[in-house]
Structure 1
Amino acid sequence: MRRSLTFVLTLLSCYSFAQSADDLQLKWEVVENGHQGKAQTLSTFTLINRSKQTLPASGWTIYYNFIRFVTPGEVAPGIDAEHVNGHLYTFKPNAAFKGLQPGDSLKINVVHVAWVTNYTDAPDGPYIVWDKQPEKGYPLPYTVIASTRPEQLRRTAADTHPQTTAADIYRKNANTKDIPLEKLPKIFPTPGFYEEKTGSMTLDAQTVIGTDPAFLKEANFLADILGKRIGKPVKVLTDAEQGTIRLKKYKHAKIGGPGYYVVSSDTSAGFYVITSETAEGIFYGIQSFRQLIPLTGKPVLPLVFVADIPRFKFRSLLLDVSRNFQPKQQILKVLDLMAFYKLNVLHLHMSDDEGWRVEIDGLPELTEVGGRRGHSVDELTALQPSYGSGPDVNNTTGSGFYTKADYIDILKYARDRHIKVIPEIEMPGHGRAAIKAMDARYARLMKAGKPEEAAEYRLSDPEDKSEYRSVQEWKDNVMNVALPSTYKFIEKVVDGLMTMHQEAGAPLDMIHMGGDETPAGVWEQSPAAWKLMRSDPKIRYADDLWYYFYDKVAKIVNSRGLQLYGWEEAGMRKTKRDGKTVMIANPDFGNRNFQLDVWNNVMGGGMEDLTYRLANAGYKVVLSGVSNYYFDMAYAKDYHEPGFYWGGYVDVDKPFYFIPFDLYKNSKEDGQGNPLPPGTFTGKDRLTEYGRENIVGIQAALWGETVKSPQQLEYLLLPKLLGMAERAWSTDPAWATEENEARAKEMYDSAWSRFANIVGKRELPRLAALNGGYNYRIPPPGALVENGKVSANVQLPGLLIRYTTDGKEPTAKSPVYSAPVAAKGTVKLKVFDSAGRGSRTVIVNP
């Protein structure tokens, strides 16, 4: 009887809490990095019972996401920590837990790998599940307590400079010179040839566009832009010999190639001419012409002559919409941004462990299950929460996908802007969303008594006992490459994508088939793999299945007339050197027109030359290095800067100072932001003339783990994207090839000043208005205390520093900094743009 009464009281207590999870609160903070002298961190969760009832001694589990692996075991009296899968962890009461009284709190100390040095590293999305209602999760009120003490901010005890200070920023900004606006070129990225002539021309209500019929679509695009600027519809004539602006088809004798164009003006004739042999070139000429139009006031344009051609044919932006979803409208806004800066490839990363984001005919579970995240008992209706997406499947970051109609709209929008969309289907690793979706399909069809149909597209072998853990801690995220159904699935998806591209009038000619981060240990205990290995003498070890897989994938892709594209590991082979396993360029694929994204160039990490090794081996290589072009890396070593930093910190200068054919020359710091030691590149492979021909372009990547809104996407993307656009479009600047080191630095400093002024004075004001405005990052000010006065400067001239000395937060109406500030108390400084948006505040005490 007593046992029954206790059970009833527990149920009632659980019911009360379940109706209002707000009665519980969770806080988290770092205690110390480098705990016990190891590469691990001690942190503390505090569970607070704010209700008038006791939190029961049993019958509940708290779930949360954390990108750091937590050591399992008892972490508080009566509380056990467990790893579920991926980045999902739990706290559960054990038999020793006595409950938590009203008003009481419980400290839960956990130890986890690596370190935590900014707020985006913190655990996220905690929720509670009651045993009596196992299918339902209730979000918990949650607070991250900011780190401020040295032991919370440094990675290890030996880390003497754990944060970028205002003085660091000041010293870095000190070499940037202010250049008057009128002396800055009006077209960006820097054209091959630009000359401004005497005179000007005004666009008015009489403006007319005349075009060669082949460029009618581009003419209408320009007419729409000019109509909005002039305030009156602009007429388009299909006659290139008439009009204020004329789009002419012309093959230039001296320049040529994909994307070239010429913009010229004649004050006596009173018209502009944009010429090219192709619609692509005309479109780029239109983008340059747009930049000549003042943002405000009367649209008076200078008379110019511009001759231009892109340096690389492949100028790409990767957007990861799998980890956290971005709505269609945001993708269209990004496409407009890309078009403006003459980028021509959108690499859409639409599948990964945490989400599948595009409909495929005949496989509804891919989006019905793989396109949703939330709490579930068996993951047959949704994937488990990741990156703090929480228990509710209706969340807008973990859940979401593009319908066929959405995807076709994206393709058409990109097509009209001369941007190729390359879909990525990640495999065989990073394939969990697809694997779980096909498991759900299997369960549905087995229940319906259709075993053959159920197994048709299955990606997992239920008898596989292989044990592995991916970089993101998944235990079950690799497709089984020994199953014939895996290849049938690949064919089905490729055909579905090709059909949508065809319907959009943007035929697919290249597809990205992943190949990234397949963990050790996969397939080793799979009966299907053993059977395949016995039947094929070329497959001696489980590792050989990798080459078997990509040979099959290449044949599927190539048989459909597509070029195969993948991550660097897809072009690598394991072998032995001095008894140790090493990775070399796989000679089997180098001559098969196989294109690779090479990301692993962490400075000081030992793989800095991988890009050049693969290009020298015959692979078509896209420069996608994390050290310069992973835009999800934080701007600076600052607790308040969002983003990761495992590959280093990527500020606006890193994409700009990258030298494509000599990446060693201008590399300045390692992955922790420290100066590179001498000899870092000694013995590294250099690019051969043959290899140079295989470098096809540059790609910036914005991975989505920390990107939970369109605003966060734009913050990490801009203004970094401008440096990448400059390097992908324009020829090598003089400082990149200057052999005298001192002279090269002097030339670089001058070029950087010019670029920084262009960004601050021309491009940011433009981005504040373009397409409704972009949420670009405004850099915080640099500040230095000298002789009792506060000196300040800014990274991008044209932005204003405002300050206060009364302790109040600076606003867009606060005094503008113009000279060192003498103050006895606290000085607060903040950078503002022309639209009144501000940076983070810097606080200085003279």
Structure 2
Amino acid sequence: MMKKVILLMCVLIASIGSNAQSKSTAFNAQNLQVKWDVLQNNYNGKPQFKSVLSFTNTDKQAMPANGWKVYFNFARQIVPESVEGPVKIEHLNGDFFCMSPNPNFHGLSTNATMRVAFVAGAWVVNFTDAPEGFYYVADNAPDVTVSIKNISQVPSTKPEQLQRTPADKVDVVTPQYVYKQNDQIQNIPESELSGIFPTPVNYKKGGQPFVLTAHTQVIADAAFTNESAYLKQQMANLFIGAAVHSKLTARQNISLQKKVGLGQEEYELQVNANHITIAASTGAGIFYGIQSLKSLLPAKAWQGKMQSIPIRAVIVKDKPRFGYRGLMLDVARNFQPKSQILKVIDLMSMYKLNTLHMHLNDDEGWRLEIPSLPELTSVGSKRGHTLTNTDHLQPSYGSGPDVNNNYGSGNYSKADFVEILRYANIRHITIIPEIESPGHARAAIKSMDARYKRLMKAGQQAEAERYLLHDLQDQSVYSSVQHWSDNVMDVAIPSTYNFLETLVDEIVNMYREAGAPLKTIHFGGDEVPAGVWAKSPSVQKLLAGSSDVKTTDDLWYYYFKKINQLLKSRNLYVSGWEEAGLRKVMVNGVKKQVPNTDFAQANFHLYVWNNVLGWGAEDLAYQLANAGYPVILSCVSNLYFDLSYQKNFYEPGQYWGGYVDVDKPFKFIPYNYLKNITENSMGVPVPASAWAKKEKLTETGKAHIVGIQGQLWSEEAKGVDRMEYLLLPKMLGLAERAWAKDPDWATELDSAKANTLYNTAWSTFCNTLGKKELVKLSYMHQGFQYRIPTAGVVIENGTVKANVQFPGMTIRYTTNQAEPIISSTMYTGPLTQKGTYKFRVFDDAGRGGRVVTVTN
């Protein structure tokens, strides 16, 4: 018996030793290196490209010949049969792909490299186009993921890599190109710039300045208690550690006075040596007067180190051009924390934007807690490795396998959202919540599927089906613009409206608790793909029993009619993207979308983004406004802040709608935006005659332009720094166009005169940003990570010249191959030394932009 025990122990010990050795010698996928290289756009003369992924094994053990998968995200659709290499690549859903070995793969030994080439649709230009979020999963351990961190991109430099198609005329932005752009910008002394931004209606300089100190008192009319408290807090921030006295006095004070007869957001501001007066009829007017007072402060006052601050004497009468001045922030694709939302609200308030449109859900995430529907956040707000999407959603945009990632997962609790609403309300910013529907709704659909399964398991069928968002028997086949096959709510089933009604009521209650105004809820309404609902039994039943709904196209109007009834019964109106106000009709045998007169008088507010040149809807905003719809101009050509600043491999952002640099929002002409669309998204010049047959904005239509809004979609806004980089300084151009009156250059009919006027205004704007506004933003809220421009550099006759987009910023350079730092030599004039120069622009706080290199 003892011998058997000893023998058994020996076998067990040997087994343990064998397993330990196996574990210690197992392949570690963390030691894979992945490199992406673009080979050619317009591959085989088609709108597609070829690229290659190289996998190098730096681990001590060979990568197994089989039994593994590598998952990743990629925004382009890979052609499966084009894959070259011993693997197959399968599209799962959205931007999610799976790579696995085929029988020709025999493992990857140490230091060996496997090349996987493939063809995919469309084109690629910059580094943010690259596949991302790679992670490894062994078949025998499907719940164990290994993130692959060593991922790089080979910079594209050749025309065939950077030119999308032969029609692509957009220049790659070089130092020489930037120099030419900057050459028209004049250096204007700060003393000659307006003290207030955005530009006020009437501005007159006075005499001696007012000296602000920590002891300056604020006297306020009883109606402006909130604004008085806000101003005192702002002053306290300027004088760290010094209390603001509340004792009243007749001199050396700031007075907030009520004055009847001024408009809703109108104000008057007077500053002299002894007194500052802000007058308005409303709290909003007083608040904007306070923002103008803050604008008058020297930029470096925001460092909080000054004991006294001189404020120039002025007389100002001011009011906004548009009542709606908005920013749309997408927190669904990639999440932004509450602290960042509060920071953005402060930024908006400083530049007199008054509406934050929060895109709270999409296919990739649901971000607002709804207590009665907990799965929306317990499932829909999290992304991580999954093939079932039952506990959380799949990775998107490189968010990776871990549900605790920084930007793929996250949500606002009810308490968070109420706090955000209160914070915005104090700053006279209205928050419009968006429930994206019926498309772009995958996060909601999967969350309600999880709820259904939970309750069915508990035997509660009726309750389980109460909020389902799709017909379980639906066999419809479709693919959305972002390649989702299951992201559209079924608008024929009652449970969809149960869901939406519950959402609306809970959101209304949050606003009521916060004491914040709610007049509308944005219901999305864009990009529902063809094929949706075609094989839904619920839809077929509805079609068979309705005289109004005859085709699946009619479901669009059926849906928004019910949404209108839902909101109207709660004293709210409908907001949506432009498609909510369009109807599909046959024109000469071709299906087209035209304004739907059914909703034109129903107070549907439409946010019109589509003016992409060549798509045929360039004048759509004006068509809808002329038809009677209240329109918020949200045009992709000038107001999509997620679009890349310029064409360069190292410049992040998308570019499907063109490139949007700082000048695009600034030059936007709301009532005639076709005038400044001079080229299409491929950079092909467009003559003014191209707009001859497009619909012009009528005087009646002009009255229906409610305002303008910038959009920051978040596919590339991964983290707060990238978000701020994409947002700023573009947002400042939006602020100017939304608040200030139409500039002279926008209405001048003589093109030569208009161009001269524009160049003068552009120089003023660039100087204002470089010497005032961006300096402030370097210090406020611990600094905003705005984009610092690259230096413009040319070599002429052996002389190196450099310039910068924003006068006031500093250019520094090196000649020893090292990257310039804040202590490097400052550029002050032309250079003649031979060799290689590296130039870099620095802001007032010492933060540097991207380095450019030239050789003399």
Q: 1:13 to 1:626 in 2, by over 3 A?
A: farther
Partner-residue secondary structure (3-state), 2:624: helix
Is residue 259 of structure 1 aligned with residue 265 of structure 2? yes
Distance 1:808 1:97 in 2: 43
Distance 2:28 2:47 in 1: 39
Bigger drift between 164-173 and 91-100 goes to 91-100
Q: Which amino acid aligns with 2:211?
A: T
Is residue 135 of structure 1 aligned with residue 152 of structure 2? no
Distance 1:724 1:261 in 2: 21
Partner-residue secondary structure (3-state), 1:612: helix
Bigger drift between 797-806 and 69-78 goes to 69-78
Pairwise mapping of residues 611-622 of structure 1 onto structure 2 (< 5 A)? 611-622=621-632
Which residue is 1:3 aligned to?
A: none
How far 1:73 sits from its partner (Å)?
Answer: 3.2
Which residue is 2:326 aligned to?
A: 316
How far 1:206 sits from its partner (Å)?
Answer: 3.4
The one of 689, 705, 709 aligned to 1:695: 705
Deviations 1:468-507 (A, max 9, x none): 1000000000001111000000001111111111100103
Q: 1:661 to 1:678 in 2, by over 3 A?
A: closer
Is residue 683 of structure 1 aligned with residue 701 of structure 2? no
The one of 211, 222, 237 aligned to 1:202: 211
Q: 1:357 to 1:568 in 2, by over 3 A?
A: same
2:367 touches 2:381 (CA, 8 Å); kept in 1? yes
Q: Which amino acid aligns with 2:646?
A: A
Deviations 1:582-605 (A, max 9, x none): 110111111100001100112343
Distance 2:677 2:520 in 1: 32
Which residue is 2:720 aligned to?
A: 710
Q: 1:235 to 1:603 in 2, by over 3 A?
A: farther
Deviations 1:199-227 (A, max 9, x none): 12212343111111111111011111112
Q: Which amino acid aligns with 1:117?
A: V
Is residue 446 of structure 1 aligned with residue 456 of structure 2? yes
Distance 1:736 1:335 in 2: 30
Deviations 1:381-402 (A, max 9, x none): 1100000000110101110000
Which residue is 2:281 aligned to?
A: 277
Distance 2:652 2:610 in 1: 21
Which residue is 2:296 aligned to?
A: 292
Pairwise mapping of residues 667-678 of structure 1 onto structure 2 (< 5 A)? 667-677=677-687
Distance 2:336 2:26 in 1: 31
How far 1:16 sits from its partner (Å)?
Answer: 6.4
Identity of aligned residues (%): 49
Partner-residue secondary structure (3-state), 1:790: strand
Which residue is 1:106 aligned to?
A: 114
Is residue 380 of structure 1 aligned with residue 425 of structure 2? no
Which residue is 2:535 aligned to?
A: 525
Pairwise mapping of residues 812-831 of structure 1 onto structure 2 (< 5 A)? 812-831=822-841
Is residue 646 of structure 1 aligned with residue 656 of structure 2? yes
How far 1:614 sits from its partner (Å)?
Answer: 0.7
Q: Which amino acid aligns with 1:263?
A: L
Q: 1:667 to 1:76 in 2, by over 3 A?
A: closer
Distance 1:746 1:482 in 2: 57
1:136 touches 1:376 (CA, 8 Å); kept in 2? no
1:18 touches 1:138 (CA, 8 Å); kept in 2? no
1:223 touches 1:236 (CA, 8 Å); kept in 2? no
Distance 1:734 1:381 in 2: 57
1:412 touches 1:505 (CA, 8 Å); kept in 2? yes
Partner-residue secondary structure (3-state), 1:543: helix
Q: Which amino acid aligns with 1:284?
A: Y
Gaps of 5+ in 1: 1-7
Bigger drift between 388-397 and 222-231 goes to 222-231
**TM-score, normalized by length of structure 2?**
0.95
Gaps of 5+ in 2: 1-15
Q: 1:227 to 1:161 in 2, by over 3 A?
A: closer
Q: 1:428 to 1:12 in 2, by over 3 A?
A: farther
Distance 1:672 1:316 in 2: 28
Is residue 167 of structure 1 aligned with residue 173 of structure 2? no
Which residue is 2:185 aligned to?
A: 176
Which residue is 2:230 aligned to?
A: 221
Which residue is 1:769 aligned to?
A: 779
How many residue pairs match? The answer is: 833
Deviations 1:812-846 (A, max 9, x none): 12222222211221111111111111111111112
Distance 1:677 1:137 in 2: 55
Q: 1:334 to 1:665 in 2, by over 3 A?
A: same
1:760 touches 1:796 (CA, 8 Å); kept in 2? yes
Is residue 305 of structure 1 aligned with residue 311 of structure 2? no
How far 1:650 sits from its partner (Å)?
Answer: 0.6
Deviations 1:215-271 (A, max 9, x none): 11110111111123244222347x89786011111114xxx322000011344xx21
Distance 1:396 1:818 in 2: 42
Q: 1:74 to 1:59 in 2, by over 3 A?
A: farther
Distance 1:538 1:291 in 2: 56
Q: 1:48 to 1:101 in 2, by over 3 A?
A: same
Pairwise mapping of residues 78-89 of structure 1 onto structure 2 (< 5 A)? 78-89=86-97
Distance 2:698 2:170 in 1: 38
What is the CA RMSD across the aligned residues, in angstroms? 2.0
Distance 2:678 2:512 in 1: 45
Is residue 420 of structure 1 aligned with residue 426 of structure 2? no
Q: 1:642 to 1:655 in 2, by over 3 A?
A: same
Which residue is 1:40 aligned to?
A: 48
**TM-score, normalized by length of structure 1?**
0.96
Distance 2:489 2:395 in 1: 21
Which residue is 2:794 aligned to?
A: 784
Distance 1:313 1:560 in 2: 23
Is residue 124 of structure 1 aligned with residue 132 of structure 2? yes
Q: Which amino acid aligns with 2:175?
A: A
Is residue 23 of structure 1 aligned with residue 35 of structure 2? no
How far 1:148 sits from its partner (Å)?
Answer: 2.2
The one of 507, 523, 543 aligned to 2:517: 507
Pairwise mapping of residues 568-583 of structure 1 onto structure 2 (< 5 A)? 568-583=578-593
Distance 1:13 1:68 in 2: 42
Which residue is 1:5 aligned to?
A: none
Distance 2:828 2:615 in 1: 43
Which residue is 2:9 aligned to?
A: none
Partner-residue secondary structure (3-state), 1:401: coil
How far 1:709 sits from its partner (Å)?
Answer: 1.0
Is residue 152 of structure 1 aligned with residue 144 of structure 2? no
1:14 touches 1:130 (CA, 8 Å); kept in 2? no
How far 1:380 sits from its partner (Å)?
Answer: 0.8
Bigger drift between 111-120 and 675-684 goes to 675-684
Distance 2:153 2:573 in 1: 46
Is residue 244 of structure 1 aligned with residue 250 of structure 2? no
Distance 2:635 2:446 in 1: 31
1:136 touches 1:391 (CA, 8 Å); kept in 2? no
Distance 2:704 2:516 in 1: 25
Which residue is 2:550 aligned to?
A: 540
Q: Which amino acid aligns with 1:664?
A: L
Distance 2:341 2:296 in 1: 26
Partner-residue secondary structure (3-state), 2:116: strand
